Structure 1
Amino acid sequence: MSKKHVMAVFCLLAGTALPSFAYAQAAASSNTTITPNGTPNPNHPTPPPTASHTNDAGDPDLPALKAGNLFSPKAGRPLTYWDGLVGHLTVEAGISGNPWTRSGRNFGQFYLDRANTVTLNQIMGSLSHPVTSIGSGYGIGFVVEMMYGSDSRFDPTIGMGDGTISGLYQWAPTQAHIDIHTPWIFHHGIDFQAGQMYGLMGAEGTPALARPFYSFNYAADYIVPFETVGVVATMHLSHHMDWILGIDAGNSTTFGGAGNNSRPKGYFGFAWNNLMGGKLNVHAIGHFGPQANNGRTIVSPAGWSSAGIGRSANDLMQYNADLLATYHVTDALSVMAEALYLHDDASRDDAYGVSSYLSWDIRPSLTLNVRGEIFRDNTGGIINQYSSDMSYTNSLRNRPFGYYNALPTIYGDLTVGVAYRPSFINRHLGPASLTVRPEIRLDKSLNGTHPFNQSGTVSSRTVNNGTNNMLWFNLDAVLSF
C-alpha cells in the first residue's frame, strides 16, 4: 500500500471525537462551550436554559439566579440580577515548529501561519451574564468579549475597529450580543441572540479552549463563518430538538460601507440534543447568501488585486453546510465526526471535508486527543496562504491583498496531542488554571501536488514546487481565569 493510501486510511479511521465541545464555535442553541475535560469553557458564560433547570418561580426553562464570579454578595441579602456577572480572562501563547519550511510559513493555516516563532496568540477577556429569569417566562443575558494577539489578524469584523493596528499583534471585538429567552409558541419557548456572535458552524472554535488542539483543521479555517452580526432564533420544538433560523450581514462583515454586498445572509438548521440517554448530540446547519464583494476591483502598484467583482456580487450565492455528531462512549471517552461543504457561485469554488476526532480523559489532568481529516479543494481557490499581517482583513475590505495558493488538492491531516493540566501548578493558582498542549501533526497532499513549505509571488501565485507533505510540531500554553 502506498504512502498516499496509508495516509487516507489513517485520516478516515484516526479518531473521532471530542467531548461536548462539538458546538465549540458557538453551538446553535448555546452560548457556551466545553473544554476537553468536560468543564465549561472559561471564554463563554453559563449554558443557556434547558428543561432540566428550574428557577425560583418554578419555570422549567430558566435557571435560577446565581452569584457570578465578580462579586461576593453579603450573606442573607437577596441576589440582584447584577450579582450574576461573570468575567473571564484567557492568555494563550505557543510555537509551531516546522524545520523543513523554506518560506517561514505553514501552508494552509490561518492562525498558525508563522513557523518556528514563539507567538502570543490571544489575550481574551469577556464580561457576561447567563440567561436568567426576569419573570413571566422571560429571561435575559449578554456577552461582551474582546481579543488581542496574533489570532486577531484572522478574526476581524469589518466596521468594528478593523485595521486600527496593522502588525502581527492586533485586536478584535469577538462577541457583543444580547441573549433573550421567551415563552412564545413552543412548549420550551424560543431563544434569541442579537448582535455580534461567533459563527454557528464548525467543531473548532476561536477561543483557545474551544478546540482540542493548538492547530486548526482545514474546515475550521476555510469553510465555516468566523463572525456574524445579526439575529439568530433557536426554537425549542421539543426537549431534544431545536430549529435554528438566523439573518446576518455575512462572514466577518457588518452593514453599509462595511458590508460585502447589499444582500442579507442567514442560517437554517436543526439540532438534536441529549439523545440516547444524553450520549448523542447532532446538528445539521447551513449558512446561505451572497458573500462576494460588490465593490470595484482595485489593483496595487505591486500587482495585487482586491476581492471586489462589482454589482454581480449581489446575486451570486455561497452555500455552507455542516453536519456534526458527537457520541459519548463513556464519561471519559468521546468520539465525533463532522462533514462540511462550501460552494461559491462568484469564484466557482467547491470544497468539502470530513473530520473525525477522539478524546480520552486518561486522568483528570490528562486528555488524549486525535484528529483525522480529508479535505478537497476542487479548484485550488479555497486554500490560500495570506502573505502579510493585513492580507486577510484587506481581502474583506476590498483592498489589494497578497496571497498564494495551490493546485486543486486533496489534503489529509493527522494530529495527535494531549491536553495536560498540571495539578502541581494549578493547585497554587487559585481561580486560574494552566493547560499545556503539545501535538504532532502530519499534513499531506493525497493527489500528488506539492504545496507545502514554499511560498508564491505576485507573478507566480500557485505553488507546486514545494513538498507533498508537512510534518510539524506544535505546543501552546493556556492560562485561564
Structure 2
Amino acid sequence: MFLGIPAAAFAQIPTQPTGDEERPLAPIAPEEQVQKTEEVAQTGNIFHHKPGTPHSYWDNLEGHLSIEAGIAGNPWTSSGRNFAQFYVDRANTVTMNQILGSLSHPVEDVGHGYGIGFTFETLYGSDGRFDPTAGMGSGALNSLYQWIPTQAHIDFKFPWIFKNGIDVQIGQMYGLLGAEGTPSLARPFYTFNYASDYIVPFETVGIVATMHLTKKMDWILGIDAGNSTTFGQYGNNNKPKGYFGFAWNNLMNGKLNFHLIGHFGPQGNNGRTYTDGPWTSAGVGAIANEKMQYNADFLATYHINDKMSVTVNGTYLHDDLSRDDVYGVTTYFAYDINPSLTFNARGEVFRDNTGGTILEYSSFTSFTKALTNKPYPYYMAEPTTYGELTLGVTYRPDFINKHVHFGQFTFRPEIRLDKSLNGTRPFNKAAYPTAANGYNTVVRDGDNNMLWFSCDAIWAF
C-alpha cells in the first residue's frame, strides 16, 4: 500500500503556469526607454541605473529575502503532531519555517525578439524537510532545520512560430500544479490544503515550454525527471515524465484566469526493497518503469471586483503502482478589507481511497529517505474522506511597516477545523509499530476531528 507513496508527492504555485511570474520584456533600449526598463524590476534591485548612462542588462538583477516563523497550536493532540500536514506538522512549537533567498533576473530582450533571464533560490528552515530534490543537497542536514535549493533555472524567450513567441525554462523549478506554493507569500494561509501538500509536484528538474497561442491562451509542454527527483542514482526510474496543459489569462475583461494542466509518467522507484526493522523502502524493482501516475489540476480564479476574488481548485491523482485514487476540491475566498488587511476563507473536501497517500512522515528525514529509497518511519490513516475549513486574515500593519525602510512585515492568524467525513479517527494520535501490535502503522483510535489555531509572521524584501 505504501510502496508508491513518494510518487504521490508534492505542491506548487498556481498562478504561474511558466513557473515564475511573467514580467514584460525589458528591452535594452535607447535612452527614452530606460525609464520603462527600470520599472520592470524595482523592488529588490541590486544595481540601480545611474541617470544619463546606457542601460545594462545587470541593472535589473534582483535579490530577495523572506523569513517566516510560526506556531500551529493544537491543545488536544497527544502525539505532538498535526496529522496530514507536511510543513506545520509540529504542534504547539514555535518554528522557523523558512529563510528564503533568491537571486534572479527577469527575462529581458537581448535583441531580435530573443530574451534571457534566470532564477536561483535556496531555503533554510523546518520546511526544508519536505521540499528536497534528490541529488541536489538532499540529506545535507538531518535536523528539524534543513537546507535545500528550491529553484535553479534559466529562462528564455523565443520569437518563434506564434505571434507572442515561446517561453522556455530549463533547470530546477517549482511544480505547476496545485493552489498553494512553498514560499510563504505564495499562499493565503500558514497551513496548506491537502491537495497542495500531498498530490502535486513540489519540484521538477527538466524543461517547460509555454507557447503563447494567442494573447490570452497558452499551451504548456514539459519533460522532467519526476517529482522531487533528478537523474541516475537520484532518479526514481529511467522513464521520462512531463506536463501537458493549457492556461487562459485575463478573460472576461481581465476578471477570469484558469488552467487545466496534467503531469504524467511512471513515478515509482525501480530500486530493490530495503528493510530496517519494521520499516520498508519505496523500491519495487523494474515494474516501477511501467506503472503510470496521472496527475491533473484545474484552477480558476474570478475577481468579483477590485476587493473580492473566488478561486476553485480541483486536483486528481491516480497511481497504477499503489492502486490509489486521490482527489479533492478546494474553494478560496479573499476580501481586501483595506490595504493592510485581507480576509481569507478556504473550504476543502479531499478523498484518499486507500489511506496510502495521506500519512505522517514521523522523523526529520523520513521524506528524504522515502524519495531516495531508504526505509522511513511513518504512520497513516484508514481510507478517509477529509473535510477542512480555514478562516484567517493577512495583516500588513501599517503602523509597523511605515517605520520599516527595508522590507515589509505580514502576520497571518487562522483558525482551522479538519474532520473525517466517513467516520474514521486519524487525528491527534500516532501509531508506532511494535511486535505486540503486529507492527501496525494505521491510526484507528484517534479523534474524528482536529481543531487548531495557527499564526505565522513574515518579513519579506
2:139–2:368: 8 Å Cα contact kept in structure 1?
yes
Equivalent residue, structure 2, for 1:461? 441
1:312 aligns with 2:287: yes
1:475 aligns with 2:455: yes
Report the alpha carbon displacement of residue 28 of structure 1 after superposing the two structures with TM.
Answer: 1.2
1:149 aligns with 2:149: no
Q: Which amino acid aligns with 2:20?
A: N
Distance 2:101 2:14 in 1: 16
1:119 aligns with 2:108: no
1:27 pairs, out of 11, 16, 21, with: 16
State how 1:83-94 maps to structure 2 within 5 Å.
Answer: 83-94=59-70
Distance 1:30 1:96 in 2: 29
2:382 pairs, out of 407, 420, 427, with: 407
What stretches of structure 1 of length at least 5 have no aligned partner? 1-21, 33-46, 58-62
1:264–1:289: 8 Å Cα contact kept in structure 2?
yes
What stretches of structure 2 of length at least 5 have no aligned partner? 1-10, 31-35, 434-438
Report the alpha carbon displacement of residue 48 of structure 1 after superposing the two structures with TM.
Answer: 3.0
1:67–1:73: 8 Å Cα contact kept in structure 2?
no
2:29–2:55: 8 Å Cα contact kept in structure 1?
no
1:264 pairs, out of 217, 240, 247, with: 240
Change in 2 beyond 3 A, CA 1:409/1:154: same
1:144–1:176: 8 Å Cα contact kept in structure 2?
yes
State how 1:52-201 maps to structure 2 within 5 Å.
Answer: 56=29, 64=37, 68=42, 69-201=45-177
1:64–1:132: 8 Å Cα contact kept in structure 2?
no
Q: Which amino acid aligns with 1:465?
A: D
Q: Which amino acid aligns with 2:337?
A: I
Q: CA RMSD in A?
A: 1.5
| DSSP 3-state at the match of 1:451 | coil
Report the alpha carbon displacement of residue 79 of structure 1 after superposing the two structures with TM.
Answer: 1.5
1:354 aligns with 2:313: no
Distance 1:312 1:318 in 2: 13
Q: Which whole-Å deviations, capped at 9, do the CAs of 1:197-230 have from their partners, x for residues lacking one? A: 0000111000000000000000001111000000
Change in 2 beyond 3 A, CA 1:104/1:169: same
Equivalent residue, structure 1, for 2:404? 429
Report the alpha carbon displacement of residue 49 of structure 1 after superposing the two structures with TM.
Answer: 3.4
Q: Which amino acid aligns with 2:94?
A: V
Q: Which amino acid aligns with 2:322?
A: S
2:27–2:110: 8 Å Cα contact kept in structure 1?
no
Q: Which amino acid aligns with 2:317?
A: L
Change in 2 beyond 3 A, CA 1:138/1:28: same
Report the alpha carbon displacement of residue 154 of structure 1 after superposing the two structures with TM.
Answer: 0.2
2:19–2:174: 8 Å Cα contact kept in structure 1?
no
Distance 1:49 1:306 in 2: 46
Q: Which amino acid aligns with 2:381?
A: A
1:397 aligns with 2:372: yes
Q: Which amino acid aligns with 1:153?
A: R
Report the alpha carbon displacement of residue 54 of structure 1 after superposing the two structures with TM.
Answer: 7.8
Distance 1:376 1:27 in 2: 26
Report the alpha carbon displacement of residue 457 of structure 1 after superposing the two structures with TM.
Answer: 1.4
Equivalent residue, structure 1, for 2:187? 211
Q: Which amino acid aligns with 1:384?
A: L
> How many residues are aligned here?
438
1:25–1:206: 8 Å Cα contact kept in structure 2?
no
State how 1:285-300 maps to structure 2 within 5 Å.
Answer: 285-300=261-276
Distance 2:286 2:236 in 1: 11
Q: Which whole-Å deviations, capped at 9, do the CAs of 1:308-366 have from their partners, x for residues lacking one? A: 00010011000100001000001110000010000001111110000000000001000
Report the alpha carbon displacement of residue 106 of structure 1 after superposing the two structures with TM.
Answer: 0.3
Distance 1:315 1:435 in 2: 46
Report the alpha carbon displacement of residue 26 of structure 1 after superposing the two structures with TM.
Answer: 6.5
Distance 2:258 2:58 in 1: 34
1:380 aligns with 2:355: yes
Report the alpha carbon displacement of residue 24 of structure 1 after superposing the two structures with TM.
Answer: 2.7
Q: Which amino acid aligns with 1:24?
A: I
Distance 2:297 2:250 in 1: 19
Distance 1:165 1:433 in 2: 30
1:250 pairs, out of 226, 229, 236, with: 226
Equivalent residue, structure 2, for 1:5? none
| DSSP 3-state at the match of 1:428 | coil
Equivalent residue, structure 2, for 1:43? none
1:67–1:79: 8 Å Cα contact kept in structure 2?
no
Change in 2 beyond 3 A, CA 1:64/1:201: same
1:30–1:48: 8 Å Cα contact kept in structure 2?
no
Distance 2:269 2:313 in 1: 29
Equivalent residue, structure 2, for 1:451? 426
Q: Which amino acid aligns with 1:474?
A: S
Q: Which amino acid aligns with 1:336?
A: T
Distance 2:203 2:13 in 1: 13
1:26–1:199: 8 Å Cα contact kept in structure 2?
no
1:371 aligns with 2:351: no
2:12–2:200: 8 Å Cα contact kept in structure 1?
no
Q: Which amino acid aligns with 1:470?
A: M
